[in-house]
Amino acid sequence: MRRRDWLVISLVGGAHACSHFFQLVIPTLYLSLAAEYGYDFAQLGLLASIFFLLSSIGQASSGFIVDRIGPTPVLWFGLACFVASGLLIAGSNGYVMLMVAAAVGGIGNSVFHPVDYSILNHRVSTERLGHGFSTHGLTGNLGWAIAPLYMAAFIHLAGWRVAAAAASGLVAIVLFLTWLGRHLLSGRESVAPARMGGAGQRGASTSGLGASGDKASTPGDDLSRKSAMGTLRALVAQPALWGAFLFFACSSVSLSAIQNYTIPMLDTVYGVDKVLAGSALSGYMLAAAGGMLAGGFLVSSTPRSELVVFGSLVAAASFFALLATGVGAPAFALVLIALAGFFSGVAGPSRDMLIRRVAPKGATGTVYGLVYSGMDIGASLAPVAFGMMLDVGLTRGPWAGAAASFVAAAVLAMAVGRAAAARTASPRPA
């Protein structure tokens, strides 16, 4: 069981890394595309907006497909879209073709959270599910970290078109590996939970609400047996899912502030040069990855996963609030950024377990697709708002906004946790 679990986790993690990797393929080509075609940054930025707009729309709907035909073919479709997108970029002859490539890539990106969490929840035993969630987050961060280096190397050695084709080749390898491991990924039945004791077992029982299977459920409770509209009506009536959607939107607003504006703010507020500031941002991502690994061990320590999320995000918010004061030496600012990254990462596995607790039976993919679409919405709106702050002279505004958004997300996590607990306690109607 242990070997099977880790093979599943590895395959899902590799696919998730491709998702994050491809989110940065077009941005890494900005300078090359500007030199080739003379595009300005507004035109180049629109390509990324198209990518995430299509991803947001597709993510909210792809979960319905996952719950009805299974996650594996949807996973292959997403990876194939990335392969096609890279080849379209490599063979592009103008802006329209690049827009099509961005759209195809965004459609591919939309499937990964519904697919990944459906596979993890159904194919990994309860004992290692927390580690599966933490590895999932870690591989995503690694995909972000690898993309600039991988693309820059190919651009330097052979040009941007070869770099785009090489990105397709890398994803094609992962697609082939998932095909080889299809027997591990296929099937919607839950694996038998591993024997656990203490808090871990209690957590497993509370998660029996949905993705892990509810022994008290009847076939009529399985939302995968309902129509798409029937499933949607059942889900929108649950406040916990709206809370989860807003939670991801707030979390994404914080991440957007950090990714887009930490480098210029370190320069303006603390006098840190751009090279060191870029290293600080990489340090945030690596610290977040370390936090995710640590968070995987906390998942089984308490059935109240919302408490871990709340404490971790409030800690991260406090470090960003300190950054926003501008007090301290540059070295102190770099430490604060790393600490904020670590604690934001700790929240990741418990966050995913919390969403699992509120996912009704037969709607795992749908729920993860709907709530994670909040992340794409936050990522598409926040950069404009924070950019306006900087334009009007609020040089520390994005850090303050990140702190406020993390606090809001922490409060929403507690609300979702209370809703999940109330649902567990409520007797099922006869």
For residues 278-305, give the mean pLDDT. Answer: 79
Q: Are residues 170 and 240 in the same domain?
A: no
Q: Is residue 196 part of a domain?
A: no
C-alpha 310/C-alpha 305 separation (Å) is 9
Mean pLDDT: which of 182-191, 342-351, 372-381 is highest?
342-351
pLDDT range class, residue 179, cuts 50, 70, 90: very high
Q: Are residues 295 and 386 in the same domain?
A: yes
pLDDT tens for each residue of 60-119: 677 778 877 888 899 999 999 999 999 999 999 999 999 999 999 999 998 888 888 888
C-alpha 85/C-alpha 22 separation (Å) is 9
Q: Are residues 382 and 311 in the same domain?
A: yes
List the CATH number of the domain containing 103.
Answer: 1.20.1250.20
pLDDT at 105: 94
Contacts 24+ apart (CB under 8 A), 233-237: 234/360, 234/363, 235/360, 235/363, 235/366, 235/367, 235/370
pLDDT at 217: 41
Taking alpha carbons only, the member of 94, 123, 11, 110 closest to residue 53 is 110
Q: Is residue 319 within a helix (H) or strand (E), and if so which, with residue range? A: helix 305-325
pLDDT at 386: 79
pLDDT range class, residue 125, cuts 50, 70, 90: confident
Residue 14 or 57, more confident:
14
pLDDT at 161: 95
Per-residue pLDDT at 190 exceeds 60: no
pLDDT tens for each residue of 193-206: 443 333 333 333 33
Instruction: Give the count of domains, the chain.
Output: 2
- Given a contact cutoff of 8 angstroms between Cβ atoms, the answer to whether 32 and 160 are in contact is yes
Q: Which residues contact 269 (CB under 8 A, 6 or more apart)?
A: 323, 326, 333, 395, 396
Q: Are residues 343 and 403 in the same domain?
A: yes
Q: Are residues 250 and 170 in the same domain?
A: no
pLDDT tens for each residue of 349-406: 888 777 777 766 656 666 777 777 777 788 777 777 777 787 788 888 889 999 999 9
pLDDT range class, residue 412, cuts 50, 70, 90: very high
Full domain range(s) for residue 276: 230-424
Q: Are residues 291 and 179 in the same domain?
A: no
